[in-house]
Amino acid sequence: MDTKRKTELQEIARQIRVGIIDAVYSAKSGHPGGSLSIADVLTYLYFEELNIDPKNPDWEGRDRLVLSKGHCAPGLYSALAHRGYFPVEDLKTFRKTSSYLQGHPDMKHTPGVDMTSGSLGQGASTSCGMALANKLDKTSVRVYAILGDGETEEGQVWEAAMFAGHYKLSNLCWLVDFNGLQIDGPIAEVMNPTPYPEKFSAFGWNVIECDAHDFDSIEAAYKAARACTDKPSVIISHSVKGKGVSYMENNVSWHGAAPNDEQYEQAMKDLGER
User: Where are the chain's structural domains?
Assistant: 3-270
Q: Is the pLDDT of residue 128 over 90?
A: yes
What pLDDT score does 60 carry? 97
CATH architecture of 3-270: 3-Layer(aba) Sandwich (3.40)
Q: How far is CA 40 from the centre of its chain?
A: 9
**pLDDT at residue 11 in the model:** 98
pLDDT at 274 over 90: no
Strand blocks (E) in the chain: 64-67, 143-148, 172-178, 181-182, 185-186, 206-211, 233-238
In the predicted structure, residue 153 carries a pLDDT above the cut 90: yes
Computed over every residue of the chain, the mean pLDDT equals: 98
Helix (H) / strand (E) element for 132: namely helix 122-136
Average pLDDT over residues 199-216: 98
* Arithmetic mean of pLDDT, 34-45: 98
3-state secondary structure of 211: strand
* Confidence grade of residue 264 (pLDDT, cut at 50, 70, 90): very high
Closest alpha carbon to 48 in 216, 273, 233, 252: 216
pLDDT for residue 154 is more than 90: yes
Taking 90 as the threshold, does the pLDDT of residue 97 lie above it?
yes
pTM of the model: 0.98
